[in-house]
Structure 1
């Protein structure tokens, strides 16, 4: 962890290019990583861009720049361009496809996001995060049946994922399957009781099963 003086030194040298740095994109990326860790996201973006001026085909810089733009600055269109550039460099990079899907999800381009997650799962069928995101996009598209299958695949890989249990419960409720909805909710509540016992009180997906005795018991 940098102390206050080191942070100030880092900020002061943001655009100072030393002779040894002129052709070294890695130093710019290291600087960008430090800015990201410290929460200076605009400065991190500038540093990654400097790295890419030196080496425009450095995929790691495109991926890291896209991650900051998406996850920290919510600049989704710009992030999408970064992941597209990363895929032009390596079309077989499953992490780039996953991140592209994540950005498209934020842009509510769910069909396109689903296509990205399908590609990720072709590369690696044991990617728990991809199965979860695959399920979430299907849920957003109104395909609760196939969303359940995706959440189940995610849970096979990580049975402790409370979010997957909860979303699976929502899908079962939308299908009118009260027993499976309650069973999945129990699993979610067991793992995070304070969070989900509050959420189920207002979750619209449970409106059609709200009067069920077993569902009512979960709120007590």
Structure 2
């Protein structure tokens, strides 16, 4: 909080005058408000040394100016001199017990030290006389969020909204708290009640629509987004969400119309083109789909979901070389995405790039994709390339997630056999057959030599 900082750009002359004074060592007079803006200018631009120099001169000329002393406390806080800042602020509080800015700064200093309960106590005290209740409640809400007390944070933001029905930041934070508390029904009730008194609040309708969408109540969601658009027919977010609902209802032509409207209202977005492309694909119009995917790339070449859509498109038409090119683009943007590595593995398998496919599955596992199919596909690739030691280690890892699973047991049997441990091979084979007698044929398919040689060992 910089006092007067929001208008410091209007005070170029005092800043030039101050900097000229520094060059000439001539002491010039500034009134307190000019000093406030000079100090705020330097604080906003991160030039703390100049801010401190200006503050020293300011206090020399105006030693009892409250706003300048508040700025001194703020600078002390920036420098982590919390005790000095609090001491100064407490002195100011004794002189001006009804100055809410002092209480806000004390709360900020406490908050910087993670003393959130102390900050809340100070803010609660300020509520008794503050003119700007919205700011106090808003800061209190943030302090409660730091404490992960979402219920009290929600109540603080509700108080903000009660004092200013246009405080949309508070409205978003209320819904965030409801969501964290897993209270979607309560959130819907709250929004409906709010809309009874504010029927043209597009943000509330938009949030209500999203809640209905998450609850799969698509008719109610559609109704809410329509009301959001009636309240503000330039509200792009409502058109986009309405388009998503229409997709779920398989009304793809109407969805395309919604997304297209967003392109006309404002600058085109990659997301809108991507959704239009997916709708065209559902309508069995692949050329139009591809055209819109490419428009999406033109708008945002770093939107990895577009590269994934192009990958899926080319997998569908069995053009795996192009699919590999596109999935590599997606991976270059987000190499931590499990889905991309699974696609990479599948595509490389189709291209007979066995080592690359195995690497893709390994990356999927390293990134936390512990589905049984991922384990089995990697193990089978290692078996096919006769990397039995690595296959055994991977089986052991998979066993931690799927103990005594017949799909793992028969593979254990084959791998133990290939490694020459016939006793363990027999043990796992018996276990696998006990759970699924039909599994022997799968084992022979994966380990062609197993059947004959096992009989010899018997």
Matched, 1:171 2:309: no
Structure-1 residue corresponding to 2:190: 47
Distance (whole Å) between structure 1 residues aligned to residue 287 and residue 320 of structure 2:
14
| Partner in structure 1 of residue 225 of structure 2 | 83
How far did 1:143 drift?
A: 1.9
Aligned to 2:179: 36
Matches within 5 A, 1:19-168: 21=162, 24=165, 29=171, 31-70=174-213, 72-168=214-310
Residue number among 336, 344, 357 corresponding to 1:219 in the alignment: 357
Report deviation, 1:41.
Answer: 1.6
Partner SS for 1:64: helix
Query: 1:164 offset after TM fit, Å?
Result: 1.3
Report which stretch shifted further, 85-94 or 28-37.
Answer: 28-37
Aligned mates of 1:145, 1:125 — CA distance in 2 = 24
Shift of 1:126: 2.8
How far the C-alpha of 1:34 sits from its partner, in A, is: 3.2
Q: CA separation of 1:105/1:127 partners in 2, compared to 1, >3 Å: closer, same or farther?
A: same
Aligned residues: 208
Deviation of the 1:115 alpha carbon: 1.2
- How far 1:83 moved relative to its partner? 0.4
Q: Is the 8 A contact 1:67 1:79 kept in 2?
A: yes
Distance 2:216 2:313 in 1: 28
> Following the alignment from structure 1 to structure 2, what is the Cα–Cα distance between the partners of residues 175 and 201?
18
User: 1:155: Cα distance to partner?
Assistant: 2.0
Specify every segment of 5 or more residues in structure 1 that has no aligned partner in the other structure, as ranges.
none
- Separation in 1, partners of 2:193, 2:166: 8
Question: Highest Rg: 1 or 2?
Answer: 2
Conserved 8 A contact 2:240-2:272: yes
Cα distance in 2 between the residues matched to 1:216 and 1:122: 47
Aligned equivalents of 1:117, 1:146: Cα separation in 2: 14
* 5+ residue gaps, structure 2: 1-144, 359-458
| Structure 2 residue aligned with 1:198 | 342
State the distance in 2 between where 1:8 and 1:161 align: 36
Structure 1 residues 21 and 91: alpha-carbon distance in aligned structure 2, compared to 1, 3 A threshold:
closer
Offset, 1:177: 4.2
* 1:75-105 deviation per Cα after TM superposition (whole angstroms, max 9, x unaligned): 2221110001111222232221111101111
TM-score by length of 2: 0.40
Q: What CA deviation, in whole Å up to 9, does each residue of 1:47-73 have, x standing for no partner?
A: 111110111111111011112221x32
* Structure with greater contact order relative to length (CA < 8 Å, sep ≥ 6): 1
> Partners in 1 of 2:218 and 2:294 — Cα distance?
29
Distance 1:50 1:62 in 2: 11
CA distance in 2, matches of 1:26, 1:125: 26
Distance in 2 separating the partners of 1:137 and 1:115: 10
Asked if the contact 2:262/2:268 (under 8 Å) is kept, the reply is no
